Amino acid sequence: MRALSIYILSLGVLLITACSEAVSNAKQEASLPEIFPDYTGVTIPVGIAPLNFCMDDRSALMVDAVVTDGKGRELHGQGEETTGFDIDQWHDLIANNPGDSLSVLVSAKYEDGWHTYQPFTIYVSRDAMDYGVVYRKLEPGYEVYSKMGIYERELSTFEETPLIENTQFSGCVNCHSFNKCAPTDMSLHIRGKHGTTLLRLDGEMKAYNTKTDNTMGLCVYPYWHPGGRYIMYSVNTTQQVFHVRDSNRIEVYDQASDLALYDTEKNELINTPLLARKSVMETFPSFSADGKTLYFVQATAIPEGSKELRNIHYNLCSIAFDSETGSFGEKIDTILMAESLNKTVTMPRPSYDGRFMMFTMADYGQFPIWHHEADLYMVPTSDLKQPITDVEKYRMPVVNTDDTESFHNWSTNSRWIVFSSRRDNGLFTRLYFSHIDEGGKDSKPFLMPQANPRRYYDELFMSYNVPDFVTAPVDFDDIKAEKLINSTERVQMKGR
């Protein structure tokens, strides 16, 4: 038995050494390595999964990386496709270096031998990130949808868990929303034959019919009031047209939209005339951190059938909200008159600590994910008290690229953002994370880590959609959800 153990151990050692190749006679390069994903100079949280990478140049035969901290501790990774860092050793190394930096020395083997590049730095932040992110994954299509689902990704590992997929029913899963990243309260739309809104309140899930006599259609984009009692929904009549030449493929636009407040205690969907005007389209609601202000965007409705979509410009607005009475103020303040800049604002998202407001700005319309020019902007909350005149100073200097940056959400400590970007290939949306420091400075974002990022992202033909942080596993009962969706029983929201 002992002999067998020794034999197995020897074999294991042999295999390990056989798989690893010493970097020898390497040519020293004066440049930083070009790697995919580009993790050079990024800031990461303690607890993030290993940042495995490969050489950006697909002709590399092998990649080798040595990560070293200030105390001389080392982590070595090597592989034909990716660095393949040991996950436990990685976590040990970064856990010992919060607020410090790591140096990464990369060597790559090509047909002419090894090349060693100048080391790059990874900064380890003291600010923690939440447990995971929840997102929808679907193909970046036009009107028809294939397989899709809502997935949860644990950020300290590479583990992705489907919460629900449309293989369980006939239809599509749509916007999901949590109350400040807490997975206990959740809103999830299902469209199609079994269309409904699933609401999980304090762990109990029910299927709702959100169409009332007072609203023009089903509820669409949700945002929870921090108190947990209310959810603000937009109600949208959406259309699509297609670009015949542009690299932006599709234009999704509203013909009409309103906002409606759902009171979870009374099961009432409350229509407020000021937020449901016919001549104006209101959408993308969000509450301030203290819950006293509702932010949203609004634009002048275009005539029915009009294709003057480039004239649709949404302005950033706000209105006071009283959570005691569930009522809104009597006037709407326009914070950013984007139409005067020939721009459009979408998806306002206040940070949970009340310091900042982040939104996406594009040339026109309300669906920036299909706009290559869409970028993220971040405004200190203190600057929202007056109308914004010079918006360009709020354009995030580091996170944006020439391609789409769009849907974004804050971590619970408001020190991290997750956002969607098409920077990698112009079509398939990927998730990036960026650190926001005390002064509101954004760090170079990093692509969501994968065990073998090249292979994973090459073979992934789906886009990430509506990412949001969660503080703990969602623990979603998909079998119950499937039963609820496939049944005809719906709790009818009462209109008011």
Partner 1 sequence: MRQGRWVFLLSSIIFGVAVMLFFALAYPHHLHFQEQYQLFQFNQNYILGVLSLPGGVADLAGRFLTQFFLYAWVGATLIALVLVGIQYLTYRLLSQSHDDIFANALSFIPSILCCCFLCDENALMSAPVALLIVLGGVLSIRCIRAEEIRQILAIISIPIIYMLAGAFVIPYTLMLIIGEIQKESSLRVILISCGMLLVASLVPVIWHQFVHCSLVKLYVGPHYYRIPDDFAIWAWVAVGINPVLMLLSKVLSRWNPRNAFVVFVSSWGVLMLLGGMMVSKQQSQAQENIMAYDFMARNALWNRILQKAQAQAPRNQVAAVALNLALAERDMLTSSMFEFPQNGIAGLLPNFTSDYISPLVTSEAFYRLGMVNTAQRFVFEAQEAIPDFQKSARCYKRLAETNLINGAYEVARKYLQALQYTLFYREWATETMTLIGDDKAVEAHPEYGSLRKMRIDQEHFFGGNELHQILVWLLEANPKNKIAFEYLEASCMLVKDVEKVSRYYSYSEALGYKEVPSAIQQAMLLHWSQNHSVSDPLPSNVQANILQGFKNFYSTMQAHNGNPAPVKKLYGNTYWSYYYFN
Would you tell me which residues interact with partner 1 (CB under 8 A)? 139, 141-147, 149, 162, 164-165, 167-170, 240-247, 249-251, 307, 309, 424-428, 458-459, 461, 478-479, 482, 486
Q: Cis omega before residue 37 (within 30°)?
A: yes
Sign of CA dihedral 145, 146, 147, 152: negative
Judged by DSSP in three states, 104 sits in strand
CB of 35 to partner 1, least distance (A): 17
Sign of CA dihedral 151, 154, 155, 159: negative
φ/ψ of residue 9, rounded to 5: -60, -45
CB closer to partner 1 out of 107 and 421:
421
Q: Could you tell me if residue 21 is left (phi over 0), alpha (psi between -120 and 50 degrees) or otherwise beta?
A: beta
CB closer to partner 1 out of 7 and 461:
461
CB of 459 to partner 1, least distance (A): 6
CB of 162 to partner 1, least distance (A): 5
CB closer to partner 1 out of 6 and 479:
479
CA–CA separation, 376 and 404 (whole Å): 9
CB closer to partner 1 out of 189 and 225:
189
Judged by DSSP in three states, 489 sits in coil
CB of 370 to partner 1, least distance (A): 12
CB of 255 to partner 1, least distance (A): 12
User: Terminus-to-terminus CA distance in the chain, angstroms?
Assistant: 77
Residue ranges of alpha helices (H) inside 432-487 are 453-459, 478-486
CB closer to partner 1 out of 109 and 372:
372
CA–CA separation, 238 and 252 (whole Å): 7
CB closer to partner 1 out of 164 and 198:
164
CB closer to partner 1 out of 7 and 242:
242
| 409: DSSP letter | E
CB of 64 to partner 1, least distance (A): 24
Judged by DSSP in three states, 450 sits in coil
Classify residue 384 by burial, with Cβ atoms within 10 Å: 0-12, 13-18, 19+. Answer: buried
Q: Between β-strands 113-116 and 27-28, what pairing exists: parallel, antiparallel or unpaired?
A: parallel
Which of these, 146, 234, 239, lies nearest to 189 by C-alpha position? 234
CB closer to partner 1 out of 245 and 278:
245
Q: Compute, in degrees rounded to 10, the torsion defined by CA atoms 465, 471, 472, 476.
A: -40
CB of 407 to partner 1, least distance (A): 20
Q: Between β-strands 113-116 and 446-447, what pairing exists: parallel, antiparallel or unpaired?
A: unpaired
> What residues contact 103, with CB distance under 8 A and at least 6 apart?
67, 68, 69, 119, 120, 121
CB closer to partner 1 out of 152 and 268:
152
CB of 55 to partner 1, least distance (A): 16
CB of 431 to partner 1, least distance (A): 17
